Structure 1
Amino acid sequence: MRFFYPEAFYLLIPWFLFCSLLFFNQNLAHSWLKSKIHQRFITQFTRYTFTTLCIHLLIIFIAGICLIYTLASPYRAGSIENLSKSRNIFFILDSSYSMEAIDTYKTTSISLRSKSRLEVSKGIINELIEILPEDKIGLITFSGSSITHATPTLDHSAIKNMVSNLSTHSLRGTGSIFSKPLGEIIHTAQFQPDNYLAILLSDGEPIPNKQNFNHELEILEIAGIPIYTIGIGSDNGAQVSLFNPHDVYNKIDNPRVAKVIDTYRKDSYLKKISSATGGKYFELEDGTWVSDVKAALNSYKGKQAIKTAQGKIDHSHPALI
């Protein structure tokens, strides 16, 4: 048995002295009554005998010891079980260079209209964080590789700050590899078991011949981790300019254009990911996407998980009974 406040036991000294003084005074008074009053009439002045006086004061003394014991807060090391109902939501943001294209005109915020796919996606994430105040939020970006900026946390301000500072991963090509961020979520769920879901924002444009992520989808389905996908961009597409790498590296103000690429929103992989994991696909061009996403997230409550952790079991209550 250990105690949070062992210094509380110093109170035993004054408590013992107080009870001793009380016993001495009460016994002295009782003795005086016995010497001055006939035995027939003493019950009119006190109901105590020497035995009952000792018993009464002993009860008071023990009660004080119990209170001091409780004040010292005894505990034992042990396992504590908590029922977890919270959700851990990963935002997965496509940061490939195709996300620099400007072809998103239907957003909920006028300030984001005519912005790049990436800037609109960042605005969407901030909007969704506002409607998820009680959920833990994590952030992953990906292109040909993936980066976990934050595992799920309740520090939403920190996540928003990270989102505002995001930029594309590379200026050398377009397209993304979807297996990378899906693997990151699986890795996190394996080492930190809990309720997870993810919202993936992408134009869906792949890197050719590098889209074998069926294994990751199977694991996510078995684990019960739904991926909701939001298609960013338009069917009509837009053009993005690939700049000369030498000029970009040397931070030239007006880098030379090495190549102009046409880029379009491609839904097939986004629909496949959401369908295989039990999520849902949304399009930014659909004007009701905000309410639809909110309804979908609210409908997913997650599994109630019992979380066991090493902690301290309080043993102060029995002394108060």
Structure 2
Amino acid sequence: MIWQDALYLWFLLIIPLLIGATYWYNRNLEKKREAYFGEELFQKLRKGFWSLGKRIRNVSLYIGIALLIVAAAGPKIGTEVREVKRQGVDLLIALDLSASMNAEDVKPSRLEKAKYEISRLIDQLQGDRIGLIVFTGEAYLQSPMTLDYSALRLFLNIAETSQMPSSSTDFSAAMETAAQSFESGEDSENTSKAAKVLMIISDGEDHGEGYSEALQKLEEQNVSVYTLGMGTQSGTTIPLYDDSGSLIGYKRDEQGKVVNTHLQAEALRSIASDGGGEYYEIRNGSSDIDAFLGRLDELQQGEFASQEYADFKNQFQWLAGIGLAFVVVGMVFPFYRSRESSRE
């Protein structure tokens, strides 16, 4: 047996206190009675008094209060088997880790803001499988699709631009890796029923040769491609920091000019339009991630996990009912008998 909240059991100390208070009150009352009334007169004044009934009344009250306290503690005895089903969509997030994602036109930076919004998205997911792809000119499956959101957060937290061998961006690499992941994830009839969603989070700067073929493959797999733009149209420079976090300069091109990066929304809009999804945008002071989450709720859902587990069964109802019954007896049980009964 276990307890829902064992702290309530401390209130059982009230019972001996009540018994002691009742005993003290009766003794004090008896002394006052002896000072004013003789025994014969007192017996005539309380003719019909039933001492056994009074004791039954008090004991019932004590038992009832004790049972109600124990019920409040939430005893759980025995086990009951419950079936749990988790349903949702297959969601892959492709996070751009190119150098331009370090730009700070979105505070604290495009990348940090993107990671924050992904984390906020994870907080609101319920039964959706989610995975993480990181990409620049190349793409890697950082975390396969999983229901373990805590594990995904660990992979998300360590995602940095410095981990990638290339600083450019190629959307086709992310799409090809996503297609392979979705294909390998089709391991059951239930998961195949789930809607497949790819969310690309980037500033839109694509240096690849084209993504039409990769996008076509995702379409054949019934994958909806959504995009989330990071940055501003005006753009900004790309800061460079040393290992201690001190600013050491700004990224420059091959001619030595400081690079200015800005959000290229049209490229992301085109991907979302061709991929059957929608384009969202994150700027300072605004975020469309909630709108994307609402869109997920409208998509077809599949069952990813169904399992049975044993849990302790709540038993407080019985104790509460019996306790109330004892309290009622303690309040209404007679401790005076009729004249006929007293004569007997």
The interval holding the TM-score normalised by the smaller chain is: 0.5 to 0.7
How much is the aligned-residue C-alpha RMSD, in angstroms?
A: 3.0
1:92 to 88, 91, 94: 94
Any conservation in 2 of the 1:143–1:169 contact (CA below 8 Å)? no
Residue 180 of structure 1 is matched in structure 2 by 173
Q: Does 1:161 align with 2:154?
A: yes
Deviates more, 1:264-273 or 1:187-196: 187-196
2:175 is paired with a residue of what secondary structure?
A: helix
Quote the residue 1:290 is aligned against: 289
Give, in whole Å, the separation in 1 of the partners of 2:214 and 2:164: 27
CA distance in 1, matches of 2:170, 2:162: 12
Task: Tell me what 2:113 maps to.
Answer: 120
More displaced stretch, 165-174 vs 137-146: 165-174
TM-score norm. by structure 1 comes to 0.58
Distance 1:270 1:299 in 2: 22
Give secondary structure in 1 for the equivalent of 2:133. strand
State the partner residue of 1:271. 269
Residue number in structure 1 paired with 2:135: 142
**Displaced runs of 4+ in structure 1, greater than 6 A?**
170-173, 250-254
Contact persistence 1:183–1:216 (CA under 8 A):
yes
Match of 1:206 in 2: 206
What 5-or-longer segments of structure 2 have no aligned partner?
1-84, 187-191, 253-257, 306-344
Alignment: residue pair count: 208
Identify the residue that residue 22 of structure 2 maps to in structure 1.
none
Cα deviation, 1:191-216, whole Å, max 9, x if unaligned, reads 33234212111100122xx2311011
1:301 maps to 2:303: no
Query: Alpha-carbon deviation of 1:296?
Result: 1.2
Deviation at 1:188, TM superposition (A): 1.7
> Could you tell which deviates more after superposition, 266-275 or 173-182?
173-182
TM-score of the aligned structures, taking structure 2 as reference length:
0.54
Partner SS, residue 140 of structure 1: strand
Paired letter, 2:117: I
Residues 58-100 of structure 1: CA distance to partner in whole angstroms, max 9, x if unpaired? xxxxxxxxxxxxxxxxxxxxxxxxx995322111100000000
Q: Tell me, what secondary structure is at the counterpart of 2:183? A: helix
For residues 30-66 of structure 1, what are the alpha-carbon distances to aligned partners after superposition, in whole Å with 9 as ceiling and x for unaligned?
A: xxxxxxxxxxxxxxxxxxxxxxxxxxxxxxxxxxxxx
User: Aligned to 2:161, what secondary structure does the other structure show?
Assistant: coil
In structure 2, what is the Cα distance between the partners aligned to 1:117 and 1:254? 17
Does the Cα contact within 8 Å between 1:171 and 1:242 map onto a contact in 2?
A: no
Tell me the SS of whatever aligns to 2:233. coil
Letter in 2 for 1:145: E
Change (3 A) 1:188 1:171: closer
The 1:217–1:256 alpha-carbon spacing in structure 2 relative to 1, beyond 3 Å, is closer
Q: Is this contact kept in 1: 2:137–2:167, CA < 8 A?
A: no
What is the identity percentage for the equivalent residue pairs of Structure 1 and Structure 2? 26
1:281-320 per-residue CA deviation (whole Å, 9 max, x = no partner) reads 0011383613311221111125x5899xxxxxxxxxxxxx
Is 2:210 the counterpart of 1:217? Answer: no
* 1:246-284 Cα deviation digits (max 9, x unpaired): xx7x99977566622100000122112211121110011
Superposed displacement of residue 228, structure 1: 1.3
Q: 2:86, 2:127 within 8 Å by CA — same for their partners in 1?
A: no
Which amino acid in 1 is paired with 2:265? D
Q: For 1:237 and 1:170, how far apart are their aligned partners in 2?
A: 24
Structure 1 unaligned spans of 5+: 1-82, 105-113, 308-321
